Amino acid sequence: MQNKSKVKNLFSLFINGKPWLFFGLLMILVGCVGGNTSVKYRGSEARSPVAISAALQNDFKKALALMKKEKYEDAIPLLEAILAKNDQLPGTHINLAIAYMNVVTDDDKENLSKAERSLLRAVEVNPKDAVAHHQLGLLYRKTGRFKEAQTAYQRALSLKPDYAKAHLNLGILCDIYLQEFECAIKHFEQYSGMAGEDRETVSLWLSDLRRRAGIPEPPQQEQAAVSEVSP
């Protein structure tokens, strides 16, 4: 719900003629779209979940509880200890990377490198984990590696075409960072079909994007209806 209110605020700034505040809020949204924590351990989508002991499951729940309270520094040792005992857990690698990314300060290359290593390991363990690729996209965008971010988002979407957050983040990347307007329009349109309450707001964003790209609005009757899907 917080992300939805941020999106709505973006367009009120356009209407009120405050584009400098629009881009300030947009940068906040870009950082928030990926979400902060996973809510549960995710096994591989392509095979049976990796077996883990009850003790490790309990430690993982403790780590997630700390992350939900934004106590990332406290969660990191727990997640590292789990992986020291079982390195075949992509969900744990992803959550460790998320924790590292949330303790990053200005010019903190060490924690960003640790986050990247964790995500690359998650992809190594399970190349078909769309969440790992999406998180890599967020990390690459954060470190200014925009083409790599684009590739990572595209990989996430090739694995999970209805991944709403990946469509939104790829649209933002193509619009703001790459100025690839056709790419941005394509993924904002995909996200719009999944946006639910955000549909009207995203339509305003799309209209402005088409205006900046010099692309005419499609006739209303030709716009295909897209069914809502779960996030």
Half-sphere exposure of residue 33: CA atoms within 13 angstroms, side-chain side: 27
User: Would you state the pLDDT for residue 197?
Assistant: 66
Calculate mean pLDDT across residues 4-19: 43
Q: What is the pLDDT of residue 53?
A: 84
- The residue that leads in pLDDT, 28 or 165, is 165
Average pLDDT over residues 104-109: 83
> Does the pLDDT at position 41 exceed 70?
no
pLDDT at position 94, please? 96
Do 18 and 47 contact (CB within 8 A), yes or no? no
196: which DSSP letter? Answer: G
Q: What's the one-letter identity of residue 21? A: L
- The closest of 7, 28, 8, 23 to 176, measured between CA atoms, is 23
Residue 18 pLDDT grade (very low, low, confident, very high; cuts 50, 70, 90): very low
Angle at 216 between CA 213 and CA 222, to 5 degrees: 130
pTM for the model? 0.75
What letter represents residue 81's amino acid? A
Angle at 162 between CA 161 and CA 163, to 5 degrees: 95
Mean pLDDT estimate for the chain: 78
* Band (196; pLDDT cuts 50, 70, 90): low
Alpha-carbon torsion angle 177, 181, 182, 188, nearest 10: 80
Q: With bands split at pLDDT 50, 70 and 90, how would you rate the model's confidence at 161? A: very high
Q: What is the mean pLDDT of residues 77-103?
A: 95
Which residues in 149-158 are b (16+ Cβ under 10 Å) and which e? bbebbbbbbe
pLDDT band at 89 (very low <50, low <70, confident <90, very high): very high
Amino acid letter, 135:
Q
Question: What is the C-alpha radius of gyration for the chain, rounded to an integer number of angstroms?
Answer: 19
Q: What percent of the chain clears pLDDT 70, i.e. is strictly above it?
A: 71
Cα–Cα distance between 159 and 169 in angstroms, integer?
Answer: 16
User: pLDDT at residue 49 above 60?
Assistant: no
Provide the pLDDT confidence category of residue 83 given band limits of 50, 70 and 90. very high
Task: Tell me the pLDDT band of 115, cut-offs 50, 70 and 90.
Answer: very high
CATH class of 36-159: mainly alpha
Query: Any idea which of 63-67, 98-102, 197-201 has the lowest mean pLDDT?
Result: 197-201
In the predicted structure, residue 168 carries a pLDDT above the cut 80: yes
Tally Cβ neighbours within 10 Å of residue 109.
9
Lowest mean pLDDT among 151-165, 180-194, 216-230: 216-230
What was the pLDDT predicted at 105? 85
Residue written as token pair 């605020």: 9
